[in-house]
Amino acid sequence: MLVVDALTKTVPGGRRVLDGVSFSVGAGEFVGILGSSGAGKSLTLRAISGLTELDSGEVRFACEDGTMCCVTRARGKALRAARRQMGVIFQGLHLVKRMTVIENVMMGRLGFIHPLRSWLYGFTDAEAREALEALDQVSMKPLAGRITGSLSGGEMQRVAIARAIFQRPRLYLADEPIAALDPRNAEAILNLLQPLSRHNPVVSTFHQPELTRRFCTRVVGIREGRVVYDGSPELSRSELAGIYGIREAQAV
Amino acid sequence: MMWPSQNARRMWATVATFAAFLGGFLAYLNVEPVAVLFQGQHLQNLFRDVFPPRLAVLWERSGLWWSVVETLAMAFAGTTLGLAFALPAGLAGAANTTPHGGLRAAVRFQLSLERALSSFFILMVLLIAFGLGPFAATVTLALGTLGGFGKLFAESLERVEAAPAEALAALGASRSQQICFAVLPQAAPALITGSLYAFDINLRAAIALGIFGAGGLGAELLLAYNTLRYHDVLALALVSLVLVTAVERVSDFLRQRI
Amino acid sequence: MVPYSARRQLVRRAVGFGLWLGLFLAAAALCDLSPEILKQGLGKAPQFAREFFPPLWAAADEMVEPLLSTLALASAASLLGMLLAFPVGLAAAANIVPVWLRLPVRILLGAERALPEILQLLFFVVAFGLGPFSGMCALAFSSIGMLGKLVGDAIEDADDKVLESLKATGASFWQVIRYGLLPQVLPSLAANALFRFDVNVRSSVVLGAIGAGGIGAEIARSMGMLQYNRATMAVLGSLILIYAAETVSGQLRRRLLEDGRS
Ligand SMILES: Nc1ncnc2c1ncn2[C@@H]1O[C@H](COP(=O)(O)OP(=O)(O)OP(=O)(O)O)[C@@H](O)[C@H]1O
Ligand SMILES: [Mg+2]
């Protein structure tokens, strides 16, 4: 489904922020990426959707026609064709605050829409009805007409997920989807993501090992740009300590 | 605060430098403000010749209201024509929307040139090319609008949050779709405010260009002035004042609405 | 209900565009904005290029004196405007003067900003005749119109606590203004005056053409005598002056703002 192969990246100043990151994702998986702040989790996700220039390494992705296409080397149309198969769930600030909730959701399918049509009138009524269903799945239907900027952080997070659902991608990428949410909302979001992953795999970064243990099927641990753990979400204390670079006694 | 004497000395030194510079400039220009102001009875003459305004001119001159309409039309056409070019120029000149870095530099240079060229010189050239009348003034206003607001638009576009556009890129939206759905909606208030402001400025400029020979209210002013009807000039100046203030109020109101 | 309708989107965009187009066409008709005139004018372009270019380099040294005079005019007007803006701003601040003084001052400042400088110049010419003094008055007054308002606003927004505590120490009215208000207002006044200098240099070129002398008069005279390549030379001079003024004023303003922050 998705193969991440030996990604390396050096930033100006000479520091290696990605140092041979490799893992792969198959059907039905919910992969949680763990790692301390600055380990390179977000950068890995950005590399998967082709938003970051890499020094070397490849991201391969099973495209619509079944062939594996290389996201890293794709440009223009080919890159967009790969991207529209990946639903990205970033934090709320990635929504357009001045537009309505339902419009933000419908933007999920921009990759499939002819540019000329998007300049003329945007989306169709059929798409609007479908977007409303996606919002219903995240229990945001009553707020569909609101201006997005007036929502709370948790509500925006749901809108971002509804956008990804509406996009109907073959893979979901989420960067800290539950950051800045209270425990109840965080669980609610995870309860949304988990069933999605049964049909199309989810790759998501987290800061909560206890939650990846409960919801994920697999954990990838990244430390200083390197994959230091790849396996079951039932991490031992020493494995956890290895990911976060702390002594065993301090690991929860 | 700790060394009040030193502070005070610095202040007086600054004031003295200012005064010296001012005196130097005035001497260079060969003007003696005190002498001019109080010896020549100029101010008395001014008051005698200009006051009171002869408001009768407002209904006596039949073409006057037509000239007001013409000035408004010049300002509006100049603004819309200029903005119609300023928006693409802004899109090409903003780092986050430009199709190419080289184009961005070229557009920015072009815009700065338009800003530096004095509008009255442009008007003079255009008056020779297109003949007397509002056409030349409209094009002059459009060029000025393009130079000033193309740059302003580019800056407003660059100030927009980058994250929403990047999120759209990540789900496969094209460059133009990112601009249409993420950049422009965020920049819209700034662009609309700028456009209203452009009309305010161009109305003033349309009156001024009229005095240079472009028709409209400015031409009425110049005619009254050249025929030494100074009381009429003051009345017409009051008309300009009311017109400019009214338009400013309307655009303030519209700005508040968005 | 679905809070979105494709038709409404389409109609909204179409109505907005149609309205704009209609108004533009109406205004264009009033301004004789016709393609024929455009074509006729553009037809003259090659002839223009020949008459305006190359600039008459031989006249370069004749431009120095008018350029300096324009620069002196703009500088004097900016300095005068800045010096007078503070007292005028005091008279426009609600927390310093009573309403019966503030209101007329504010109205005058507003009128000052609303009227084009050229129009103001006409009145000064009636009083003082043609020449740089009238030009300087026009520019100085419109500088006061802008700077005085900004100073007035700044004083109204100034920190009242500083003033209160100064008053409590028994400082006189003028001491409160000198030690309480001036330091708060001066940095922004200086920055705005520098901006105004930039504007004044541009305007002084234009006013010169009407009778304030300097490089503007040089351009107007050359055009009037059909010496178009000489006019180009003068315009080139004014471009350099405007560009230099913009750069210097921008640099100084940046340094001023950085000083204020550190
Ligand atoms: N464009 C860039 N230029 C320079 N350094 C960068 C750039 N992008 C990322 N980095 C660096 O790369 C490292 C990894 O960043 P990344 O955002 O992936 O961290 P993260 O694991 O997501 O951390 P967090 O948990 O805090 O989100 C950081 O040290 C960051 O400073
Ligand atoms: Mg991160």
Task: Collect all residues of chain A within an 8 Å Cβ-Cβ radius of residue B168.
Answer: 107, 110
Q: Which tokens sit at A111? A: 């990759």
- Residue A45 has a pLDDT of 94
Mutate to test the interface with C, among B32, B34, B71, B120 (most CBs of C within 10 A): B120
Mutate to test the interface with A, among C4, C5, C7, C11 (most CBs of A within 10 A): C4
Ligand 1 nearest-atom number relative to CA A36: 25
B173 touches chain A (CB under 8 A): yes
Write out residues with Cβ below 6 Å of ligand 1.
Answer: A 11, 17, 35, 37-43
**Which of A11, A51, A176 for a ligand 1 pocket mutation test, highest count of atoms within 8 Å of Cβ?**
A11
Mutate to test the interface with A, among B159, B171, B183, B192 (most CBs of A within 10 A): B171
Task: Collect all residues of chain C within an 8 Å Cβ-Cβ radius of residue A132.
Answer: 2
**Which chain C residue's Cα is nearest to B112?**
C243
* CA C21 to each of CA B76, B84, B129, B173, C14: distance values in angstroms, whole numbers, following the listed order: 12, 11, 26, 30, 10
Taking one residue from A and the other from C, the number of pairs with CB-CB distance under 8 angstroms is 36
Distance from C63 to chain A by nearest Cα, in Å? 50
Nearest to A103 among C4, C7, C13 (CB): C4
Q: Ligand 1: which residue has its CA nearest to atom 1? A: A11
Amino acid making up residue A35? G
Q: Which helix (H) or strand (E) holds A140?
A: none
**Which of A10, A42, A91 for a ligand 1 pocket mutation test, highest count of atoms within 8 Å of Cβ?**
A42
- Residue A47 has a pLDDT of 93
B177 touches chain A (CB under 8 A): yes
A56 touches chain B (CB under 8 A): no
**Which chain A residue's Cα is nearest to C9?**
A121
Asked if pLDDT for residue A34 goes beyond 60, the answer is: yes
Q: Ligand 2 centroid vs A36 CA: distance in angstroms? A: 9
Task: Collect all residues of chain A within an 8 Å Cβ-Cβ radius of residue B171.
Answer: 83-84, 86-88, 107-108, 110-111, 163, 167, 169
Nearest to B172 among A84, A99, A118 (CB): A84
Triad C223, C226, C229: Cα angle to 5°: 75
**Which of A4, A10, A17 for a ligand 1 pocket mutation test, highest count of atoms within 8 Å of Cβ?**
A17
Q: In 3D, which of A202, A201, A237, A235 has the Cα closest to residue A221?
A: A235
Task: For residue B229, count other CB atoms closer than 10 A to its CB.
Answer: 15
Q: Which tokens sit at A114? A: 């002819």
The whole-angstrom separation of Cα A44 and Cα B25 is 64
Task: Collect all residues of chain C within an 8 Å Cβ-Cβ radius of residue A131.
Answer: 4
**B37 within 8 A of B43, measured Cβ to Cβ:** yes
**A49 within 8 A of A86, measured Cβ to Cβ:** yes
pLDDT per residue, tens digit, chain C (262 aa), is 788 888 888 898 899 999 989 988 988 888 777 788 788 878 887 888 888 788 878 777 888 888 988 998 899 899 989 889 989 998 988 887 888 888 999 999 988 888 888 888 888 888 888 888 888 889 999 999 999 999 998 888 877 777 788 778 877 888 888 777 888 888 888 888 888 998 899 888 888 888 788 888 888 888 888 888 888 888 889 888 988 998 898 888 888 777 655 4
Compute the half-sphere exposure of residue B208: CA atoms within 13 Å on the CB side of its CA. 25
> With 0-12 CB in 10 A as exposed, 13-18 as middle and 19+ as buried, what is C123?
buried
Q: Ligand 1: which residue has its CA nearest to atom 7? A: A11
No. of helices (H) and no. of strands (E), chain C: 12, 0
Nearest to A122 among C2, C3, C9 (CB): C9
Nearest to B182 among A96, A119, A167 (CB): A96
Sheet arrangement for strand A30-34: A86-89, A171-174, A202-205, A30-34, A218-223, A226-231
Contact B135 C126 (CB under 8 A): no
Domain boundaries, chain A: 1-85+175-185+203-252, 94-168
The whole-angstrom separation of Cα B167 and Cα A60 is 20
Contacts of B129 (CB under 8 A, 6+ apart): B136, C41, C42, C44, C45, C48
The superfamily CATH assigns to domain A1-85+175-185+203-252 is P-loop containing nucleotide triphosphate hydrolases (3.40.50.300)
Nearest to B49 among C45, C126, C133 (CB): C126
Q: Which tokens sit at A156? A: 């925006």
Contact A102 C9 (CB under 8 A): no
Q: Which pTM was predicted? A: 0.84
- Residue B14 has a pLDDT of 77
A57: alpha, beta or left? (left if phi > 0; alpha if psi -120 to 50): left
B27: alpha, beta or left? (left if phi > 0; alpha if psi -120 to 50): alpha
* CA A183 to each of CA A179, A180, A233: distance values in angstroms, whole numbers, following the listed order: 10, 9, 20
Task: Collect all residues of chain B within an 8 Å Cβ-Cβ radius of residue C210.
Answer: 211-212
Q: Supply the DSSP symbol for A141.
A: G
Any chains having at least 3 CB pairs less than 8 A from chain A are: B, C
Q: Which tokens sit at B215? A: 């028709």
The whole-angstrom separation of Cα A179 and Cα A186 is 8
- Residue C258 has a pLDDT of 76
The ranges of chain B with pLDDT < 70 are: 1-8, 32-42
**pLDDT tens digits, B53-104:** 887 777 777 788 888 999 999 999 999 999 999 999 999 999 899 888 899 9
A64 touches chain B (CB under 8 A): no
Total residue count of chain B as it appears in this document: 258
Ligand 1 nearest-atom number relative to CA A40: 18
Q: In 3D, which of C210, C229, C187 has the Cα closest to residue C51?
A: C229
Structural domains present in chain B: 58-257 (1.10.3720.10)
Contacts of C98 (CB under 8 A, 6+ apart): none
Contact A107 B166 (CB under 8 A): no
B137 touches chain C (CB under 8 A): yes
Task: Collect all residues of chain C within an 8 Å Cβ-Cβ radius of residue A145.
Answer: 3-4
